[in-house]
Structure 1
């Protein structure tokens, strides 16, 4: 089996482990974005995780879930119906003029969106979009991605097969490290799929509470008698703002890098 990219999770959380103010309160939109920013003290020695990972592993992909961009109770704009040949849509869409460019170095903004909910209304000069879909993703959405020249990888039958998708990011695009800045739902799915190698947590000096409010790792609970994932502490840092920064490796997955 092909070696998959390294997967690192980076999360900012309250002292009680919450990564949002409430379920469906998207942190990328006001007023939640402003309220969350107010919880985050500014520190002069704050760590830029993506720059650290670029230096260590050549990291060139972010990973988000569609729930970070579209609330569960939100109805996305309708797409034109597709009445062409569906079979060709369920193949990886990686146009050579996008994937083959060498300058500037690629940074991929990757979204898991098996249900086809995200509408890509903005382009960004510093990264290219990549969508992870499945063979159950609506044809209308795949046709939309092709019209918009947005790359996608197809894995899984009724949902995105995360291990296969992460591996395909390496084999198809040369990605060596993926930084998940996603919410608890996708992070929990990565955990249950045994895909997480490292975890950065910035613990903010605030309490949020709330039954059902997303945490760093959401998703299905452990079965009775099933062991937790053990971590090895790599570093811990506190500052005068009350923020604590923790860096862990999943036990047995720490690697030694040589220059």
Structure 2
């Protein structure tokens, strides 16, 4: 099966910042909640694109530098833990989509296996891990009945993960609503097809506050990723939605 289409979607300030301060996840920053206003920021994304998976990084839930609670030692053999964990009772449920998190370092301690709220009925948790993910974390996921895929050695191989989502679950569209580093990793992996930016009417500034894409610097001979404008839409609350396609036309 072909790789799923990948769309990155973020709300950003006019100067391209997707947070208000470094190291503070948006969902834990009351300033962002106040600025964002009422309404579910995912509602339009789900309605417009009907993704089979939403993709986030662990940084959406765990602040940089935060030390997660210690886990007990793994109880299973390492060879077993490094196999995909897709329990039938989790995979066979009625699905609207997978809330997928890349967490190769095993940082998140999960409160939900199925996303809460009526609007999220049928959305289930799936973790992307790597061969270097701590075994005690993989054992924890198994005890909790949380499905995971092993994709990559040192860290999650995003291109391979997307292929697996398509092959295993028949997913055709993935929307990444993650942070700058996840966006940057997707961009450098060459798997981003469209970029959506909801430009919000404020300016953040800062020198280390995350921007839309954080990725390794381009070498002198490398060219930036070229884009083709798909549309501009004026939204309520003085916002503007910009939609671009990645232009893969040879130079």
The TM-score normalised by the length of structure 1 is 0.88
Question: Within 5 A, what are the aligned runs for 1:86-235?
Answer: 86-101=78-93, 103=94, 105-123=95-113, 124-125=115-116, 126=121, 127-235=123-231
Q: Which residue of 50, 64, 68 corresponds with 1:76?
A: 68
Kept in 2, the 8 Å contact 1:136–1:159? The answer is: yes
Between stretches 74-83 and 120-129, larger displacement belongs to: 120-129
Q: 1:240 to 1:179 in 2, by over 3 A?
A: closer
Name the structure 2 match of 1:3: 2
Q: CA deviation at 1:192?
A: 0.4
Runs of 4+ in 1 over 6 A off after TM superposition: none
Kept in 2, the 8 Å contact 1:26–1:68? The answer is: yes
Two-structure CA RMSD over aligned residues (Å): 1.9
1:60 and 2:59 correspond: no
The TM-score normalised by the length of structure 2 is 0.91
Kept in 2, the 8 Å contact 1:99–1:173? The answer is: no
Between stretches 239-248 and 151-160, larger displacement belongs to: 239-248
Name the structure 2 match of 1:257: none
Counterpart secondary structure, 2:26: coil
Q: CA deviation at 1:40?
A: 3.1
Cα separation, 1, equivalents of 2:177 and 2:76: 36
Structure 2 unmatched ranges of 5 or more: none
1:18 and 2:8 correspond: no
Q: CA deviation at 1:49?
A: 1.7
Between stretches 34-43 and 150-159, larger displacement belongs to: 34-43
Aligned length: 241
